[in-house]
Amino acid sequence: MRTAFWSLARAAGTITLMKRDSTNISATDAAPRDGLTSESLAAFRRKVLSLGAELYRDLPWRRTRDPYEIWLSEVMLQQTQVSRVDGRWQRWLERFPSVDALAAADAADVLEEWQGMGYNRRALSLLRAAQEVSETGGGMPSDFDRLVALPGIGPATAAGIRAFAFDLPGVYLETNVRTVFLHELYPEAERVPDRELVPLVEACCPADAHDPADDPRTWYYALLDYGAWLKKTVPNPSRRSATHVRQARFEGSHRQKRAELLRVLLAHRGEPVSLEVLVAELSAVELEAGRAEVSAGDVADLVQELEREGFCRADGAGWVA
């Protein structure tokens, strides 16, 4: 079955909409709403910029253009509510105020500061990326390929750093941005793949920063704020994305036990913790939460997993964070 899909291109300051055919698009893929033209996209952009100005959130990380500070905010905001990041971002910067300060930090200090933010791998990736940047002079790169080559920095994070720190265009496709494009341009479609959205996002991003009211930084802030508002006022449009996955329950999960075990190790910083102690302390956490005790075999598997990923190291008869 051949299904139409859409691509866009910029030329001489205009947006061109092109319809192509492909045998690689599934039957569930849907084209944008009928009548999508360069004029309707221009109207879409005007609407987003207007609503973005109305709904603007004066968040602390928006008061800086420091690439390190913006990078940190982008990583912290991944799968984490803004309200949890506000406060933790400032505290982190007090402890690790620069890339070089973070690069020189002990991994246990970094993990300790990260506790409560979830996804501890992000903290280790921040540390490893900071070490790489520090080794090359301490300046965060603005080049996309150099950014995505750093540990933990994917395409969306790289695009965010480029837009918000350097005012450079790119495809910043994160959940709130996706929400706006789905709500406005795919109002009835289900299972919309990101490959349909990417050319739209790319075409709609301003090409340069000559207009301070419509540059990449302003444009993506507008999308973020409109998207956040939509999520509070209409059924979440991002659920109609092909990428949408219902998040698994955290409490009682493997990931939750890993996080608790790391907290136990950090609480004994500088001293080896035996398997027996790890079992007793993790079981106490589980029992307090109304769950069953954990076995020595399960804890051994968990701590060895943490060791392989660099969260702790074996030391004699125990492990040290």
Burial of 144 (0-12, 13-18, 19+ CB in 10 A): middle
Taking every pair of Cα atoms in the chain, the longest distance, rounded to a whole number of angstroms, is: 69
User: Which strands make up the sheet holding 318-320, listed edge to edge?
Assistant: 273-274, 318-320, 313-315
What's the CA gap between 313 and 321, in Å, rounded?
Answer: 7
Give the active site residues.
Answer: 74
Contact 204, 44 (CB under 8 A): yes
What are 65's two structure tokens?
A: 């253009």
What are 317's two structure tokens?
A: 């008869």
Q: What residue type is assigned to position 294 of the chain?
A: V
